[in-house]
Amino acid sequence: MWSTIELKFQFQSFDSEEGVDEAILKHVKKWVLSDMNTKWRQWKNELKSQIFDENQTVEQIIENCKDPRVNLDQLKTLVEYWLSSKAMEQSATNRSNRSKLSEPHCTGTRSFPRTVEDLTAESNGIPPTRANVYVRSRTRKDGSIVNSRAAVVVGPERRGRVRCVGAVHTRSSQESGPSQSVQNTEEVEGLKSKVAKLEKLFETCFLPYFQQQRPDLHVPDMDALLRMVDTEATPDAGSASAPINCTSPSLPSANQQNTSGNDTGRQ
């Protein structure tokens, strides 16, 4: 299904004609497939509302369908499922749960992204807040609010959903979307900068001293020293190289420096 969509549509960013990168395309694919799944369920629900009667037989229900887009063989399988005891019980449960909604929206088939687009256009390009979207989606055409519950401040969101941002948006996707990738990139760049500073400090301060103390070893850079340290940590039985002594007696330790400083102060 996705391969067919890629043949018919080209995805590009808003601010340029270049195609989107793989990270963005991954989010686009997830949204498209989820939206197609939603629309497929909505289409079956609409078809059921037009032709289904639980008091009729399968053949009678199929005769009620006049839509040329419907495959009758597939419809027969679907109608048989609708008439099964499992589907009837699930339908009753869903109908009961739907009637208990305390904050139903009144946007009809208009999606939340379209509502956001309308509010943005009305505000001269300024995107609306989620509160703005909530108020618009719960306000009828005559200006009244759907119910008293929607007219007051609502408590914490329920787990797994983010109000007024449309399908596919969950709290985890909102917290780990492209913004998280940007944050990770910034952290990587910061670590690279720190490593570069450490390498410069090693080459200008530590390397000359080390080469003076161990002229028998060829250590051109920090990577070479780290490889030697790794070799010392996991020695090879056939290796005859001398161990690296990073605590040379000629290099005073921190405790020796403190003791020397204290003795000087007492003098």
Q: Where are the domains of the chain?
A: 104-176, 194-233
Select from 159, 155, 250 the least CA-distant residue to 212: 250
Question: How does pLDDT run across 137-173, given as a tens digit for each residue?
Answer: 878 777 776 666 655 544 455 555 555 555 545 555 5
| Alpha-carbon gap, residue 26 to 180, rounded angstroms | 14
Helix boundaries (H) for 52-177: 58-64, 72-82, 85-99, 112-122, 130-137, 171-175
pLDDT score of 31 more than 80: yes
| Alpha-carbon gap, residue 9 to 27, rounded angstroms | 15
pTM for the whole thing?
Answer: 0.46
Burial annotation 129-153 (CB, 10 A radius, 16+ → b, else e): eeebbbbbbbbeeeeeebeeebeee
| Alpha-carbon gap, residue 251 to 177, rounded angstroms | 50
Under 8 Å between Cβ of 218 and 224: yes
Contacts of 48 (CB under 8 A, 6+ apart): 82
Question: How does pLDDT run across 62-81, given as a tens digit for each residue?
Answer: 999 999 999 999 999 999 99
Select from 165, 143, 144, 158 the least CA-distant residue to 101: 158
Tokens found for residue 135:
């108020």
Average pLDDT, the chain: 75
Select from 155, 134, 138, 156 the least CA-distant residue to 147: 138
Question: How does pLDDT run across 180-209, given as a tens digit for each residue?
Answer: 555 566 677 778 888 888 888 878 887 787
Please give the sequence-ordered ranges of beta strands (E in DSSP) within 94-217, or none if there are none.
none
pLDDT score of 241 more than 60: no
Residue labelled with tokens 């390397």: 207
Under 8 Å between Cβ of 112 and 166: yes
Residue 127 pLDDT: 87
pLDDT score of 233 more than 60: no
The type of residue at 77 is: T
Determine what percent of the chain falls in helix, strand and coil, rounding each to the nearest 5: 60, 0, 40
